[in-house]
């Protein structure tokens, strides 16, 4: 049996339910443990993608402002996905997001933070896997897989050059989206270990 694609691994671990709260309905999203093999698949998983970590990103290892946004999104709303390098046993990248009330709007990335220290190359390599998680969530929620990036969610040049975002079309609305990324075709999704 061939190994599962990253999209299939994410789909298996993604759990979404709407819960009633005092403030109204809340979309609760949980991404269990998505193990991603390294280049040598026989050695076992190299990375872990999950929402189920009780961690605070350190401003000494991540951009201070982005770390603060991710810490707040994780603590207050459970709206952060983490990439853990299992070799280092440390978080190397994280992404925080918002689900707009308007169901025709794409998911919004509020912070995208790869490491800013010596582990930065590994953190940047994990960003496509984190975005794949949000593309899958957006598709599951019926919003298509397009993602929007809010101002201050990541350095604009880096988001365009390294992570494949493009300028948002005019009239994107009140949600202050500066960059967008369309859902990848299946053959464009990052493959585990590559």
Are 69 and 98 in contact by the 8 Å Cβ rule? The answer is: no
Q: What is the pLDDT of residues 86-112, one digit of tens each?
A: 999 999 999 999 998 888 888 999 999
Tell me the three state secondary structure of residue 138. Answer: helix
Fold of the domain spanning 6-188? Aminopeptidase (3.40.630)
Q: What is the pLDDT of residues 154-168, one digit of tens each?
A: 888 889 888 989 988
| Per-residue pLDDT band at 193 (split at 50, 70, 90) | very low
- What is the rounded CA–CA span in Å between residue 99 and residue 107? 5
- What is the rounded CA–CA span in Å between residue 35 and residue 23? 35
Structural domain spans, the chain? 6-188
Q: What is the pTM of this model?
A: 0.89
Tokens representing 86 are: 């299992």
Q: What is the pLDDT of residues 32-50, one digit of tens each?
A: 999 998 876 667 899 999 9
- What is the number of residues in the chain? 194
The mean-pLDDT minimum among 18-27, 137-146, 184-193 falls in 184-193
**pLDDT score, position 40:** 67
């Amino acid at each position: 049996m061939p190994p599962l694609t990253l999209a299939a691994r994410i789909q298996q671990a993604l759990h979404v339910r709407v819960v009633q709260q005092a403030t109204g309905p809340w979309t609760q999203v949980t991404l269990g443990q998505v193990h991603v093999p390294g280049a040598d698949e026989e050695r076992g998983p190299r990375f872990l993608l999950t929402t189920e970590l009780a961690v605070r990103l350190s401003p000494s290892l991540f951009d201070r402002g982005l770390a603060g946004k991710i810490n707040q999104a994780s603590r207050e709303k459970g709206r952060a996905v983490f990439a853990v390098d299992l070799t280092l046993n440390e978080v190397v990248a994280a992404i925080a997001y918002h689900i707009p009330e308007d169901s025709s709007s794409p998911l919004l990335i509020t912070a995208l933070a790869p490491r800013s220290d010596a582990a930065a190359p590994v953190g940047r390599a994990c960003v496509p896997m984190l975005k794949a998680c949000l593309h899958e969530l957006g598709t599951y929620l019926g919003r298509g897989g397009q993602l929007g990036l809010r101002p201050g969610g990541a350095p604009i040049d880096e988001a365009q050059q390294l992570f494949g975002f493009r300028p948002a079309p005019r009239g994107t609305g009140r949600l202050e989206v500066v960059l967008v990324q369309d859902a990848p075709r299946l053959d464009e999704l990052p493959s585990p270990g590559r």
